[in-house]
Structure 1
Amino acid sequence: MLPINRKKKIIDELSIKGKVEILELVDLLGVSAMTIRRDLDELEKQKKLIRTHGGAALPQAIIGEQSYEQKLSEAHIQKKEIAQIAVGLVKDGMRILLDSGTTTLEIARLLKSRTNITVVTNDIKIAAELTDSNLEVILLGGKIQNGVGAILGSYAEQMLKNIHVDILFLGAHAVHASLGITSATFEKASIKKEMINVSEAVYLTVDAHKFGKKAFAKIAGVDSVTGIITDSTISKEVEEIYKEKSTFIKGVTK
């Protein structure tokens, strides 16, 4: 196996597990411990992992909150790819719920030209994007998260308790095979749980780099969503892990 392929395999394992041991990589890749140590050292220099005693871990064990500008600049092409898949699930007459986030903002942009659809959202930027559309738009009320534009809290959750939608497009900070779908704060996790409760179908919309990671507050198990929509950069190994837990829909490499 070429060094570049071996290193990719190591990163894929980290994406799934969060941390790996040298001995398990020796068994997996069929090379010496010295070769694995050299690979880990080089990957650490590239800031792709952190060396630990006997192995390595992802540089960010727990994902924190990011500003809107940070989110907007990350994986932009992949978010557009996810949005293209998502809008294909939306039929005329549907009532859909768009969770706050930059991936769901891309979904909103693609829905702007549609009619006979109701969009409920807790994101002021999504609501603003759809202001000049022919869609019926319902913005949840409550506390606005500064720097992000998400609406959170008990008022928003109470509004959700009084509606029912056909599809929820759910965002998340991180997705882990055993720890589930997670968010940066209890407050965000709480409103996302309520969104799941009022939705007929739930599609998790996350780009490939969020898999194998974890954030502070649990939203739900991976097997509790109708399907997972992601982009074409997802590795085969990661895809196989999550296909066992939920319907998996990914973009097609162009």
Structure 2
Amino acid sequence: MENEVSKVGTAAAPEAVGLSPESRRDEIIAYVNRVQLARVEELAEIFGVSAMTIHRDLDSLAKESRLERIRGGARAITARLAERDVKLRRHLHAEVKLQLAATAATLIEPGTVIALDDSTTVGALGAHLEKRHPSTVITHSLALMGVVSSLPNVALVGLGGQYYSETDSFLGSIVVEQAQRLTADAVFVSTTAIKNQALLHPDAEAALTKRSLLKMGGRKILVVDSSKFESAGIYHVMNLDEFDDIVVDDGLNVETRADLQQLGPRIHIASTSTKA
């Protein structure tokens, strides 16, 4: 049964009135992410439109997996909820992922063989591959296979096995066996949790697959947003001091950044709006 939204008083926002439908929906996302829960009536008052219009906006945004539709309103997509669905994870911290990918892309040397995991953070690298000119991309992400297959001068090696719709990728022992026969000049991975100076993941199959990819690479590159530090995880993937490079956003606190620098990897900071 859907959750109900409790009633909350709301002040009108004149600057939000008269927006185009697309701009209004972007502003709705920003508002819901800020307050976590919002009522239809509350949003209608803020944006100066009818409740029916807000219902249509919320239905559209939920269909795009940008928020969760609940009875009487909408709820922000949290990290815990997004872990269960790749469509949700693609929208979580989307702007930060774009900046992380842009920074990580500069580490791709032309003509090299690279391996990319199935994380949505690393998936954002797909938009940069044509300009960075790797010779070959190895991946178990079905979405990235689609991207790379359309690039005329980049070879694709797809790792197949059991397909999981939750991650839109292939995971498990068959993927691991294939990865053991391959090598890459650089491997890019991300994860859902970093704690005690190690990568962790809540899913055993995913952790095993990420570990096998990392063993392929001469250069191990972690691409991760600052919200993942001190998050909960169960299965060990790799210690941070085994990485050559870590790409992280500037929302990472000073103490944690100093700890990372002590471990040895090169630290690359992606400039984002997370500081503000």
Provide the TM-score with structure 2 as the length reference.
0.66
Query: Counterpart of 1:34?
Result: none
How many Å apart are 1:82 and its aligned residue? 1.0
Query: Counterpart of 1:195?
Result: 213
Letter in 2 for 1:165: A
Q: Deviations over 1:23-54 (max 9, x none)?
A: xxxxxxxxxxxxxxxxxxxxxxx89xxxxxxx
Q: Deviations over 1:118-166 (max 9, x none)?
A: 0000100111122211211111010111222121111111111111100
- Aligned partner of residue 248 in structure 1, secondary structure: strand
Distance in 2 (alpha carbons) for counterparts of 1:130 and 1:227: 24
Q: Deviations over 1:147-188 (max 9, x none)?
A: 221211111111111111000001111111x25101121111
| More contact order relative to length (CA 8 Å, sep ≥ 6) | 1
1:175 aligned residue (191, 194, 197): 194
- Aligned partner of residue 79 in structure 1, secondary structure: helix
Distance in 2 (alpha carbons) for counterparts of 1:155 and 1:168: 19
Query: Counterpart of 1:111?
Result: 129
Structure 1 residues 161 and 194: alpha-carbon distance in aligned structure 2, compared to 1, 3 A threshold: same
Structure 1 residues 89 and 212: alpha-carbon distance in aligned structure 2, compared to 1, 3 A threshold: same
Query: Counterpart of 2:250?
Result: 232
Deviates more, 1:148-157 or 1:233-242: 233-242
Letter in 2 for 1:80: L
Are 1:220 and 2:238 an aligned pair?
yes
Bigger-Rg structure (1/2): 2
Structure 1 residues 179 and 63: alpha-carbon distance in aligned structure 2, compared to 1, 3 A threshold: farther
Do 1:64 and 1:215's aligned partners in 2 also have CA atoms closer than 8 Å? no
Distance in 2 (alpha carbons) for counterparts of 1:107 and 1:67: 20
Deviates more, 1:190-199 or 1:106-115: 106-115
Divergent runs of 4+, >6 A = none
Query: Counterpart of 1:250?
Result: 269
Letter in 1 for 2:213: M
- Mark the runs of 5 or more structure 2 residues left unpaired by the alignment: 1-34, 37-77
Query: Counterpart of 1:164?
Result: 183
Query: Counterpart of 1:97?
Result: 115
Aligned residue pairs total 196
Q: CA RMSD in A?
A: 2.3
How many Å apart are 1:66 and its aligned residue? 2.6
2:163 aligned residue (144, 152, 155): 144
Distance in 1 (alpha carbons) for counterparts of 2:132 and 2:150: 12
- Aligned partner of residue 267 in structure 2, secondary structure: strand
Distance in 2 (alpha carbons) for counterparts of 1:213 and 1:138: 32
Distance in 2 (alpha carbons) for counterparts of 1:105 and 1:147: 15
- % same residue: 19
Do 1:229 and 1:250's aligned partners in 2 also have CA atoms closer than 8 Å? yes
Letter in 2 for 1:169: F
